[in-house]
Amino acid sequence: MFQGNYSINLDAKGRIAVPTKCREQLVADCGGQVVITAHIQERCLCLYPINAWEQSVLPQIQALPTVYKAAARAQRLVIGYAHELNIDGNGRVLVPPTLREFARLEKKLMLVGLGNKFELWDEDAWMATLADEGDEPIPDAMLALNI
């Protein structure tokens, strides 16, 4: 399970250094093979271990009924932007230019563990998201949480 947040940098070649704790877990879980893709609702990226991608995420996205525009859009974003990558010997991953552009990634980034995946955010966008309390009603499932 991935959790926590990490302030990291995007280098001049478009690479990120995966923090040691995260890297060790990814290497143990999937040999360092990951899939990075666009998020459906946010201007950030999702990074999955290859096995979670192949066994869970990809089948769910492919099963969406594309007669609905939202489902077709989700497939275009998630599958269309997906890149299989390997963490290199120095613990780095090259973020493809199209994904850097999609998520508007600059130099300072946040890598956020969310259970089965990581999200990769531009640091300023991450801070703005945390500051936005939103105006949606709180779902019943969240009201029942005892945390």
User: Could you give the strand order of the β-sheet that contains 118-122, starting from the edge strand earlier in sequence?
Assistant: 2-9, 108-115, 118-122, 45-49, 33-38, 83-86
> CA dist 78 to 5, 41, 81, 95, Å?
23, 11, 6, 15
Asked if residue 142 has pLDDT above 80, the reply is no
Question: Which tokens is 52 given?
Answer: 């979670």
Distances (CA, A) of 43 to 22, 77, 85: 22, 11, 20
Domain hosting 104: range is: 2-143
pLDDT of residue 38: 98
CA–CA distance, 86 with 95 (Å, rounded to integer) = 11
pLDDT digits (tens, 9 = 90+) for 27-76: 999 999 999 999 999 999 999 999 999 999 999 999 999 899 999 999 99
Pick from 1-10, 51-60, 136-145: least confident: 136-145
Q: What's 26's domain CATH number? A: 3.40.1550.20
Cα–Cα distance between 27 and 91 in angstroms, integer? 10
Total structural domains within the chain: 1
- How many Cα neighbours within 13 Å face the side chain of 7? 4
Give pLDDT tens digits for 95-105: 999 999 999 99
For every residue of 91-124, DSSP letters joined together read SEEEPPHHHHHHTT--SEEEEEEEES-EEEEEHH
Answer yes or no: is pLDDT of 135 > 90: no
Q: Is the pLDDT of residue 137 over 90?
A: no
Instruction: Give pTM, 2 decimals.
Output: 0.90
How far apart CA 102 and CA 16 sit, in angstroms, is 16
